[in-house]
Amino acid sequence: MINKLAIFGVGLIGGSLALALKRAGYCNLIVGCDTDPAQLRRAVELNVIDQFTSDPSEAVAGADMVVLAVPMLAMESVLQSIANNLAEGVVLTDVGSCKASVVAAATRVFAGMPPRFVPAHPIAGREKSGVESSLEDLFVDHKVILTPVTQTESTAIDAVTRMWEATGAQVKTLGIEQHDLVLAATSHLPHVLAFSLVDTIAETDYVDQIFQFAAGGFRDFSRIASSDPVMWRDICLENKDAILDALHKFQANLKELELAIMQANGGDLMKTFVHAKTIRDANVMKHRVETE
Amino acid sequence: MINKLAIFGVGLIGGSLALALKRAGYCNLIVGCDTDPAQLRRAVELNVIDQFTSDPSEAVAGADMVVLAVPMLAMESVLQSIANNLAEGVVLTDVGSCKASVVAAATRVFAGMPPRFVPAHPIAGREKSGVESSLEDLFVDHKVILTPVTQTESTAIDAVTRMWEATGAQVKTLGIEQHDLVLAATSHLPHVLAFSLVDTIAETDYVDQIFQFAAGGFRDFSRIASSDPVMWRDICLENKDAILDALHKFQANLKELELAIMQANGGDLMKTFVHAKTIRDANVMKHRVETE
């Protein structure tokens, strides 16, 4: 149970977390803090949060759990705004898509990583953003990855784990570097490719027909290209090295496929397509990945 | 109504067409012809087709509608195998994903494009293939694009239109070249990117974690990378120029995004992401593209 939960950034993720915890009866009081007053008022109207304030120190006063759900580049300034007002024993956590940069920001603000700050990342989202898109079941059966550091206290890890489990999520642990590499490949690069594909198509003179005759392949791509631009700009800046690494490997692979198409080399095309299908099908079986 | 329908290639698309027409009571007799006897026997067991034969001339004898649902590279040899056995007035059509190459194949076989051959392409599919994956509602509310040529007879176009409408599909017409360009961008390129991304990831040493923590973006990509390799090899070979054109435009766009990430140029990233999101959201509204 949480007595007072303070959520910074009441958008899709912050809002969905609040809703899920309300449904679970897991918090006595949920206070939202955001730079957008309209978003905060809407969050109270929608009964996503109980109260709001635009004053960070008021938000964290007496809180036993503080969640940062702001875009990556806003993490450090929010941490600065609350650093001197945190109650004894409060647990801090975040929902950022890149973990090394959050840990670096916290380390700068607190002159060392606070032992009760548990970096976390729920693997859930929608192409819609904002508090009005919040869903109380957004995290059900989704994974939340914690990336604690050596000095992170186990009681803080337990508190964050229990909070996420109350939303229906499955909590897992990964190293910071591994998290950032895996997410670069599984989430960040696909979003970059999707934005790029839709941007490419927008420049053609048959963009209208493309959407009119959109097949499943393009529908999936275009859906994720509708994600929040600020969130994805920040991710590209904050997980730059891992994304570039994944992007370069992808570009090299694509270059080989391009060559096979140019040379009408059916053998090489088959080799790549069969390999991709085999790996995908085997891993879907193994990890029971949702496929529909 | 069709008296005798002959379907060449009883896989996902041929099988789903047969099922949909049976449900609609639109054919008296559906005969399947395929190079795989096991597939044909299974199709009869599943009540997808009424009869089967491995003899193309027997399949088309007395048929008033012949549908080619074989991989792109098999179109020409199937046309050759039936060219001398077609009844007077029979309507021919296909379901191929590329239209210029089917028209070229038919033109070679018949020494000119037959006036009762209506090139067609249903925009529907699944990542699963084979007759066992057939669905009777696969085409409901999906588009079928016809690409008739100047000499195509209007009675043949009407017959193919009515057949597809009986499955619940919406029939549209496009020029051959335009079809191949639009489909290269909306379907063929996304599949190439998906195969390439999964193949890239398969080479990393954290492939296991990638599938374990697969987020929505990657799940969508990996789903289409599970499509039939033979079908997609053939499409890459048969719509080579349009796919390469789309691929080159995409690579150039991606190169610019790569530069923006390398230079940590948040302004350029925002510009691209906002543009892609704006175009996508506007077109989804306009064309009511299915988004879930």
Compare all CA atoms of chain B with the CA of A268 and give the residue at the minimum distance.
B233
| Residue from the list A222, A233, A240 with its beta carbon closest to the beta carbon of B270 | A233
Contacts of A220 in chain B (CB under 8 A): 190, 220-221, 223-224
A73 domain-assigned: yes
Q: Are A284 and B211 a contacting pair at CB < 8 A?
A: yes
Residues in chain A closer than 8 A to B182 (CB atoms): 206, 209-210, 213
Between A218, A261, A291, which is nearest B190 by CB? A218
DSSP B71: -
Residue A199: pLDDT band (50, 70, 90) is very high
B211, A274: Cβ pair inside 8 Å? no
How far is the C-alpha of B187 from the C-alpha of B12, rounded, in Å? 17
Q: Are residues B230 and B132 in the same domain?
A: no
Residue with tokens 């992808």: A250
Sign of CA dihedral B277, B282, B283, B287: positive
A16 & A73 share domain? yes
Compute the radius of gyration of chain B from its Cα atoms.
21
Handedness of CA B39, B40, B45, B47 (dihedral sign): positive
**Helix or strand (DSSP H, E) at B221:** helix B216-224
- Return the SS3 of B220: helix
Is A223's CB within 8 Å of B227's CB?
no
Please give the structure tokens belonging to residue A144: 């939340």
CB contact under 8 A, B218 and A186: yes
CB A213 within 8 A of CB B145: yes
Which of A178, A198, A219 is nearest residue B289 as measured by Cβ atoms? A219
Residue A40 amino acid letter: L
Beta-carbon-side half-sphere exposure of residue B214 (alpha carbons within 13 Å): 22
Question: Do B119 and B187 sit in the same domain of this protein?
Answer: no
| pTM for the structure as a whole | 0.88
- Closest by Cβ to A200, choosing from B191, B198, B253: B253
Establish if A275 belongs to a structural domain: yes
Looking at the fold, whether A41 and A112 belong to one and the same domain comes out as yes
pLDDT of residue A291: 40
Residue B292 counted as domain residue: no
Q: Which domain holds residue B226?
A: 178-287
Contact of A5 with A21, CB cutoff 8 Å: yes
- Domain end point (choices B123, B143, B174): B174
Q: Do A214 and B190 touch (CB under 8 A)?
A: no
Q: Residue A274 is nearest to which of B125, B192, B229, comparing CB atoms? A: B229
3-class DSSP string for chain A: CEEEEEEECCCHHHHHHHHHHHHCCCEEEEEEECCCHHHHHHHHHCCCCCEEECCHHHHHCCCCEEEECCCHHHHHHHHHHHCCCCCCCCEEEECCCCCHHHHHHHHHHHCCCCCCEECEEECCCCCCCCHHHCCCCCCCCCEEEECCCCCCCHHHHHHHHHHHHHCCCEEEECCHHHHHHHHHHHHHHHHHHHHHHHHHHHCCCCHHHHHHCCCHHHHHHHHHCCCCHHHHHHHHHHCHHHHHHHHHHHHHHHHHHHHHHHCCCHHHHHHHHHHHHHHHHHHHHHHCCCCC
Q: Which residues contact A221 (CB under 8 A, 6 or more apart)?
A: A193, A194, A197, A198, B190, B193, B220, B221
The 10s digit of each residue's pLDDT in A104-148 is: 999 999 999 999 999 999 998 887 889 999 999 999 999 999 999
Same domain, B170 and B250: no
* Angstrom distance (rounded) from CA B192 to CA B245: 13
pLDDT (average), residues A47-63: 97
Check whether A13 has a pLDDT greater than 70.
yes
**Does the beta-carbon distance from A279 to B202 stay under 8 Å?**
yes
User: Chain A residue with minimal CA distance to B254?
Assistant: A196
Cβ contacts of B250 on chain A, cutoff 8 Å: 196-197, 200
Which chain A residue is nearest to residue B238, measuring alpha carbons?
A: A264
Q: How many domains does chain A have?
A: 2
Chain A CB contacts of B219 under 8 Å are: 289-291
Q: Are A53 and A31 in contact (CB under 8 A)?
A: yes
* β-bridge partners, A94: A68
CA distance B66 to chain A (A): 25
Whether residue B277 and residue A217 make contact (CB cut-off 8 A), yes or no, is no
**β-sheet with B143-146: strand ranges across:** B120-122, B143-146, B170-173
Summarised one tens digit per residue, pLDDT across range A188-198 is 999 999 999 99
For residue A191, which residues of chain B lie inside 8 Å, CB to CB?
217
Question: Which residue has tokens 């499943």?
Answer: A216
Flag if A206 and B178 touch (Cβ within 8 Å). yes
Q: Phi/psi at A174 (nearest 5 deg)? A: -140, 160
Residues of B in contact with A259 (CB under 8 A): none
Of B123, B233, B243, the CB nearest to A213: B123
| Mutation target among A129, A279, A287, A288 for the B interface, most CBs of B within 10 A | A279
Q: Examine the domain organization and report whether B79 and B197 are in the same domain.
A: no
- CB-based contact A187 B291, cutoff 8 Å: no
Model confidence at A289, pLDDT cuts 50, 70, 90, reads: low
Looking up residue A216, the CATH number of its domain turns out to be 1.10.3660.10
* Cβ-based contacts of A183 with chain B (< 8 Å): 213, 215
End position of a domain, from candidates B125, B159, B174 = B174
- Are B258 and B157 in the same domain? no
Scan for tokens 């993490």, then name that residue.
Answer: A75
Residues B237 and B168 reside in one and the same domain: no
Chain B environment of A237 (Cβ under 8 Å): 261, 264, 266, 269
Residues A168, A232, single domain; the answer is no
**Closest to A172 (Cα-Cα) out of A238, A99, A229, A222:** A99
Facing B226 at nearest CB: one of A204, A232, A281 = A281
Side chain identity at residue B164, one-letter code:
W
**How many Cβ pairs closer than 8 A exist between chain A and B?**
298
Do A279 and A218 fall into the same domain? yes
Q: What is the ipTM of this complex?
A: 0.88
Q: Does residue A46 belong to any structural domain of this protein?
A: yes
C-alpha A283/C-alpha A111 separation (Å) is 42
Per-residue pLDDT of chain B (292 residues; tens, 9 = 90+): 999 999 999 999 999 999 999 999 999 999 999 999 999 999 999 999 999 999 999 999 999 999 999 999 999 999 999 999 998 999 999 999 999 999 999 999 999 999 999 999 999 888 788 999 999 999 999 999 999 999 999 999 999 999 999 999 999 999 999 999 999 999 999 999 999 999 998 888 888 888 888 766 787 778 889 889 999 999 999 999 999 999 999 999 999 999 999 999 999 999 999 999 999 988 877 776 544 3
B273-to-A145, A199, B279, B284 alpha-carbon distances in Å: 26, 8, 10, 16
Of the candidates B153, B174, B195, which is a domain's last residue?
A: B174
In which residue are the tokens 């991304």 written? B197
Q: How far apart are CA A276 and CA A263, in angstroms?
A: 20
A262 in any annotated domain: yes
A198 and A262 together in one domain: yes
CB contacts, 8 Å: B127 with chain A: 291
